Every structure is written in C-alpha cells, then in structure tokens.
A and B are shown apart, each in its own frame.
Chain A
Amino acid sequence: MRRHTRRIYNLCYRFTSNAHEAEDLTQEVFLRIYRTLATYRSLHGGFATWMTSVTRNLLIDHYRRTKRDRMTDSLDDAMPRLENKEATGRRPDQIALVAELGEQVQRALGKISPDLREAVILRDLQGLEYREIRDVLGVPEGTVKSRINRGRIELARLLEQMGVRLPNTP
C-alpha cells in the first residue's frame, strides 16, 4: 500500500508540480481503483501498469480541467519532502544541491507539453519499460519512443537555458 502510494504520489507530483494537487489526485486514484477493482483483468498487463493507466487518465482529466488556472501556477506552492531513507548518508550541502536540482528539473518538466512530459516521467522517473508505457498511454511503441526522445531533448535544452549543470555521462 505504502509503496504504491509513494509511486502514484510521485507520478502525480511530477506531472502537476503541486504537492496538494498530487495528494488529492493520489487519493482519487486509489478511490477509483477501489471502486473499479472488479473490472481489472490481467489482460490489461500488470497491476502496477493498470494503476499507472488509471493515474494517467486522471492526470489528463485534471490537466484539461485546470488548464486555465495553470497559467498563474507557481512551483513554489508546495514542494514535498524528499525521501528520507534515500537522503541519509549525505552531507547537508549535497542534500541541498540535490533538492535544488530536483526543483529545477521539475520547473523544466512543467514547461514541456503534457504528452512528452508523461512519456519522460514514466520512462526516466518511474522506470517503466517501453511496452509498459505503450500499455499505459495506449499508443504504439514507436510513438512512445518518439515522445521520450523529443521530451528528453526538449528537457535538456530547457535545462541548459536555465543554466542547470547536470553530470555529463554519454
């Protein structure tokens, strides 16, 4: 339960860039899953993939619903806390650096189109395989690859414009 909550919450936060909205959406996802659990078939893929599909549909609905409000949205609204377990063993300056980097990446993510954003989030932040992303998005695998590729390039260019220095590991 906690593992799924964290995964769905992270997906929602990465997409919306707002902690409060991410909380509400995560709760909504679990409510919908609870109500429609009987309709789940293993044909839909793994349970995690199905959960991600439900989350993605809710995120798209939310995106369309809040399109106007988002014009004035700010990332400073609420940044959630980083995972404590992962952050242990690091110096405070390193923790601050990672947090700042995460915030800048989140800003850049919020600037690319939703199609590219969700593809990049699912691939590089959620660690899904191409076929899983295909199942979640309901588009051909070639489209998934293309979106991920364009999303990465666009994100890299945005980060460069913002002056963010990331580790160069070709």
Chain B
Amino acid sequence: MNWTCEEIEARLSDYLDRLLEPGERSGFDAHVAGCARCAPLVGMVAGTVAGLHGLEPFEAPPRLHYRILDHTLGPRGRKKGMRAWLAWLRPLSSPRLIYGAASVAVTMAVLFQALGLEWRVPRLSDLAPSNVYRTTDRRVHLLYARGAKFVTDLRVVYEIQSRLRPEAEPQTTAPEQPSDEQRAPQKSPRKSDDQSSGPQPKSRRELDRAKDRTANLTTLACAVGGLPARSDR
C-alpha cells in the first residue's frame, strides 16, 4: 500500500498506538523514511505523546479529602467533655515526648537543688518591684557567697595537698637517691646548685629542726636523769 502524506497524518495516532496491521505499518514506515515532510511530524508527535505519558500526576491537596467528606458525609462530630481532653492529650502520650519531659524535669530539679532555690506557690506580692529587687539581690548574694565558699574550700584543700606532697617525696625517693650533692648536678646540669636543689634545703631544714628537737629532748632527759649530754650535731 502506498501512503500519502494526508493518510500518514490521519493515521498517525493509530501508528503510535500500534493499531496498524503489520502490512500497513511497514508501508507507513517506508513512506516516513523517504518523506521530508512526514518524518519530522511523526518524530514530533511521538515525542509529545511520550512526554505526556511521562508527566507525573499532581497530588490532590489533603484538605480536599476533608472538604469532600464534610460535604458528603457531613461535618465530623466533635468530641465533648472528657473525650475531647483525652483526644487532645493523645499526641502527648508518645514515649519520646514523655522521656524528654522527664529528662527536663530531672535537670530542672538538679539545677534548683544546686542553686538552693526553694519552690513555693507564687504570690501576687512577689511581683512588686521592691520584692523582686530584694529577692534578686538576696539570690545574687547567696550565689556569690556559695561560690566564694566553694573557692575557699578548694584553696584550703589545695594548700593541704601541696604541703603534704614535699614531705612524702623524700621518704619514697631517699633510699634510691645516693645523696643531695650527687643528685643535684644530674637533675639539671644547666642550673646552678642553689637553683637545682630548690626544695631540698626546705626539707633539710625540717630535718634539722626535728634533730634539734630530739637533741633538746635528749638534753632535757639527761639533765633530769643525770646522764651525760650527747649531741648528734
């Protein structure tokens, strides 16, 4: 069958929808292959149809469903009384929300406890400017006092620790170290003797004081008991 350009245009949709017989289809193809007018038309319409098939459907707005249901089945009945409250509270019953609320409550309780805040039912007089100022002033001073006490306590503890530490060191290191004179140059060869043995004179002085006390006691005991006095120094 020989196709004319008018026939091609008239049967174009049958061709695209695959409604042509095999013989008709081959004749159609043969004409289009050799026709400079029909080939672009077929390509153009085929592309349009493919484009239309590829278009995505639009999403109907969610409110449309409710509008339709309201107009067909009537407006949705509203719950009353306790049911309305339960319906309102239902979204709050999710485990994640409960866990979050509990965490916040515990955190607030710890903070209140740490800051020394006392919870009581607020009164109208609490809103008076003078009361607000007085309460705030009191809170700030309390907070400052607590902070100052905390810092002082820390300082005392630090001082005690720093005093105990130098006395503990000679006892543990004394047997291993041969002597102060030999150890001083090894620890810091670049420094002078006075600088390198900084903490040592202090401990030596304490040792000397202990020896003095022992000597005094010995002298006292000798004087009391008639024994000859002996000095270690």
Do the two shown chains form a genuine complex with each other?
Answer: yes
**Interface residues, chain A, CB within 8 Å of chain B?**
1-2, 5-7, 9-10, 13, 19, 23, 26-27, 30-31, 34, 80-84, 86-87, 98, 101-102, 105, 120, 124-125, 145, 148-149, 152-153, 155-157, 159-160, 166-170
Interface residues of B in 5-30 (CB under 8 A from A): 9-14, 16
Report yes or no: A83 in contact with B48, Cβ–Cβ below 8 A. no
Report yes or no: A5 in contact with B44, Cβ–Cβ below 8 A. no
B47 at the interface (CB under 8 A from A): yes
A169 → chain B, closest Cβ, in Å?
5
Docked CA distance A5–B62 (Å): 10
Q: How many residues of B contact A (CB 8 A)?
A: 35
B178 at the interface (CB under 8 A from A): no
Docked CA distance A157–B41 (Å): 9
21 contacts between A and B (CB under 8 A): A1-B68, A2-B65, A6-B57, A30-B71, A80-B59, A81-B58, A81-B59, A82-B57, A82-B59, A83-B56, A83-B59, A84-B59, A124-B49, A125-B55, A149-B12, A152-B13, A153-B45, A156-B47, A156-B48, A167-B47, A170-B46
Residues in chain A near residue B44, CB distance under 8 A: 156-157, 160, 168
- With beta carbons under 8 angstroms apart, the residue of A1, A23, A145, A166 that contacts B13 is A145
- With beta carbons under 8 angstroms apart, the residue of A105, A160, A168 that contacts B46 is A168
Chain A, interface SS category = helix
Report yes or no: A105 in contact with B65, Cβ–Cβ below 8 A. no
Report yes or no: A27 in contact with B67, Cβ–Cβ below 8 A. yes
Report yes or no: B60 in contact with A167, Cβ–Cβ below 8 A. no
Report if A80-B56 is in contact (Cβ < 8 Å); known contacts: A153-B45, A156-B47, A167-B50: no
Report yes or no: A102 in contact with B64, Cβ–Cβ below 8 A. no
Residues in chain B near residue A86, CB distance under 8 A: 56-57
Residues in chain A near residue B12, CB distance under 8 A: 149, 152-153
- The chain A residue sitting closest to B44, CB to CB, is A156
Docked CA distance A124–B46 (Å): 12
Report yes or no: B14 in contact with A145, Cβ–Cβ below 8 A. yes
B163 at the interface (CB under 8 A from A): no
B53 at the interface (CB under 8 A from A): yes
Report yes or no: A149 in contact with B48, Cβ–Cβ below 8 A. no
Report if A169-B64 is in contact (Cβ < 8 Å); known contacts: A83-B59, A149-B13: no
Report yes or no: A168 in contact with B43, Cβ–Cβ below 8 A. yes
Report yes or no: A152 in contact with B56, Cβ–Cβ below 8 A. no
Report yes or no: B60 in contact with A31, Cβ–Cβ below 8 A. no
Report yes or no: A155 in contact with B48, Cβ–Cβ below 8 A. yes
Report yes or no: B53 in contact with A149, Cβ–Cβ below 8 A. no
